[in-house]
Structure 1
Amino acid sequence: MRCVAYLAGLVLGLALSLPGAAQAQSSDYTQLTSPQSAQNWYLTVGAGLRYQPDYTGSDDYLFRARPIISLGRGLKSTWWAAEDDAMLSIGVFSGQGWRIGFSGDLLWKRNAKVNPALVAVPPTKFGGEAGAFAEFYPTSWLRARVDVRRGIVAHDGVVADLKLDAFTNLGPWTFGIGPRMRIASADYVRTYFGTSGALPGTGGLLQRFNAGVHSYGALAQATYHWSDRLQTTTYVEYKRLTGDAARSPIVRPFGSRNSITVGISASYSFDTGSNYSLGF
């Protein structure tokens, strides 16, 4: 229950710390949430660089590039976007302060050749996850989002990502912060954290896997708008594994339950002149 208390406390802190932002942005609510039914499309291209764990649960860090290719409909793509949103998000339906659409992610293969710490874990295949997302803006400065996806090839499980972001504009800057939680099925945990044999000092092979809270944490990011089209973003994300994943031998004692990811990205938007949202 500590993770639930953590999330509740962080959300309460955000709500109490940003009353001024809510008042200042109330008149700009429609611009932040793009409620119109027919608007121009904006193509965004760019690239990012992350310093992150080699795999979830690893204590080995590396730099990894991340391309940015997005196509979004709105008023200069002013829907709030977090750096840890799904690689692929296609907004299909939208209205005053809400939108619903397709959510997808790519998952890279993982084996002992990538990292020797994975020697006791069955290799995972390259694949993806596909599902849907829903966003809701209760105020002009707060976004709630949930993504639910099922594995394709890589695993047979289901994951749900829950996010809450408070954000505000200060001149050319946009700042955002919010808690995160992932809920995963037993099949997902078994695929990525189940071992193929007992390891010394680990208490033996995990025999049973349970669905439930997989991880929790928070993300903070700052974006500088050089112009209406060009922007750069820097961000930091904290994540803590819990449940069966945290007890896996690749996490304890050979990895870490806690991880920090930092990154930077730059992107440029083009107005296509046409009357959904893609992101990688």
Structure 2
Amino acid sequence: MPINSRTLTAAIASGCALLASPAAAQDDPSDGAKRTRVALGPQVKPSWPGAEDVSFGPLVDFATAYGDTPFEFEAPDESFGFAVATSDDFAVGPVLSFESKRDSADVGGVLPDVDFSLEVGGFVNYTVSENFRLRAEARQGVTGHEGFIAVLGADFITRDADEYLLSIGPRVTLADSSYQDAYYSVTPAQSIASGLPAYDASGGVQSVGVVIGYIQQLSERWGIYTYAEYDRLVDDAANSPVVTTFGSRDQYSGGIALTYTFDGGIF
């Protein structure tokens, strides 16, 4: 596949996953010998927020555990990050995420580019019980859209140690007016040039959705990791002429990877 901005974004994000694993920051070496699980495979994501088309990229996951302690649960849609403060129920830490460039050609060549977006922020996890976790994640774009975005989620988790893990949960995504303007608004000048109606997208709830993840160990070393995500644009994002003309209110993501578990660690 030719190298393009979206492929490069995915590759950079994959590398960051190796350096910013939440499990690596929280495990206690006193619990026993270190184990590492690495997953690698393909995934698809919307080409840009609100796109009808999807883009292919690598799916990389990295986790560590000690002794007989199972690998810590991590939802498939979490940004790359690590905990800096933990308790029995809470974990707090920084996150890093990316949004690939939206080219003018993606929207008929009549609207401006939205440059590659680097987003930095933080997360809070609250473990309600062994089988239920809440998470809030907030990020600020420092390039590209330069807007604010937050994701609220809950996950029901069922597992047999590391033999298998199934998770499913709802998601609500919120965005401020800067983020919404970048992808969904049409200024009067752009309206004249494009023929689209002028549109001012306000901040608020951008989408609602659900994420499902599944990990199955096939042998002592090998396993399968897969996930699927569906988001439905709502309110101002859903009604944007950018979406109704060039995109879709239905947003799909998914991937499948082969996992390999070995003794020791990468670092």
Equivalents in 2 of 1:256, 1:188: separation in Å?
Answer: 17
Identity of aligned residues (%): 25
**Amino acid in the other structure paired with 1:224:** Q
Q: Contact 1:186 / 1:210 at 8 angstroms: preserved in 2?
A: yes
Equivalents in 1 of 2:261, 2:85: separation in Å?
Answer: 22
Q: Contact 1:241 / 1:257 at 8 angstroms: preserved in 2?
A: yes
Aligned position for 2:19: none
Equivalents in 2 of 1:234, 1:105: separation in Å?
Answer: 20
Q: State the shift of 1:138 in Å.
A: 0.6
Structure 1 residues 222 and 186: CA distance shift in structure 2, 3 A: same
1:39 and 2:28 aligned: yes
Select 2:103's aligned residue among 97, 102, 111.
111
Equivalents in 1 of 2:208, 2:46: separation in Å?
Answer: 16
Equivalents in 2 of 1:61, 1:169: separation in Å?
Answer: 31
Equivalents in 2 of 1:139, 1:250: separation in Å?
Answer: 42
Equivalents in 2 of 1:145, 1:74: separation in Å?
Answer: 24
The size of the alignment, in residue pairs, is 233
1:266 and 2:255 aligned: no
Q: Contact 1:189 / 1:209 at 8 angstroms: preserved in 2?
A: yes
Q: State the shift of 1:43 in Å.
A: 4.9
- Of structures 1 and 2, the one with the larger relative CO (CA 8 A, separation 6+) is 1
Secondary structure of the structure 2 residue equivalent to 1:220: strand
Q: Choose 211-220 or 67-76, whichever is displaced more.
A: 67-76
Secondary structure of the structure 1 residue equivalent to 2:246: coil
Secondary structure of the structure 1 residue equivalent to 2:83: strand
Across the aligned residues of Structure 1 and Structure 2, the Cα RMSD in angstroms comes to 2.7
1:231 and 2:231 aligned: no
Structure 1 residues 42 and 104: CA distance shift in structure 2, 3 A: farther
1:144 and 2:134 aligned: yes
1:80 and 2:65 aligned: no
Q: Contact 2:136 / 2:150 at 8 angstroms: preserved in 1?
A: yes
Task: List runs of 5+ in structure 2 lacking aligned partners.
Answer: 1-22
What is the correspondence of 1:147-158 to structure 2 with a 5 Å cutoff? 147-158=137-148
Q: Contact 2:63 / 2:71 at 8 angstroms: preserved in 1?
A: no
What is the correspondence of 1:1-280 to structure 2 with a 5 Å cutoff? 39-40=28-29, 43-62=36-55, 64-68=56-60, 70=62, 78-86=71-79, 88-113=80-105, 115=106, 117-170=107-160, 172-195=163-186, 197-198=190-191, 199-200=194-195, 202=196, 204-206=197-199, 208-227=200-219, 230-270=222-262, 271-272=264-265
Secondary structure of the structure 1 residue equivalent to 2:82: strand
Equivalents in 1 of 2:117, 2:47: separation in Å?
Answer: 17
Q: Contact 2:166 / 2:214 at 8 angstroms: preserved in 1?
A: yes
Q: Contact 1:131 / 1:150 at 8 angstroms: preserved in 2?
A: yes
Q: Choose 190-199 or 154-163, whichever is displaced more.
A: 190-199
Equivalents in 1 of 2:54, 2:27: separation in Å?
Answer: 44
Equivalents in 2 of 1:214, 1:250: separation in Å?
Answer: 14
- What CA deviation, in whole Å up to 9, does each residue of 1:195-232 have, x standing for no partner? 351244x4x111x3322101111011221023566432
Aligned position for 1:15: none
- What CA deviation, in whole Å up to 9, does each residue of 1:56-93 have, x standing for no partner? 2122234x12242546576756321111111x111111
Secondary structure of the structure 1 residue equivalent to 2:237: helix
Structure 1 residues 273 and 54: CA distance shift in structure 2, 3 A: closer
Q: Contact 2:120 / 2:139 at 8 angstroms: preserved in 1?
A: yes
Secondary structure of the structure 2 residue equivalent to 1:265: strand
Secondary structure of the structure 2 residue equivalent to 1:244: helix
- What CA deviation, in whole Å up to 9, does each residue of 1:222-269 have, x standing for no partner? 210235664321221111111222122221133211122221123335
**Amino acid in the other structure paired with 2:75:** A
- What CA deviation, in whole Å up to 9, does each residue of 1:149-205 have, x standing for no partner? 1101112211111110001025822111100011111001111222351244x4x11
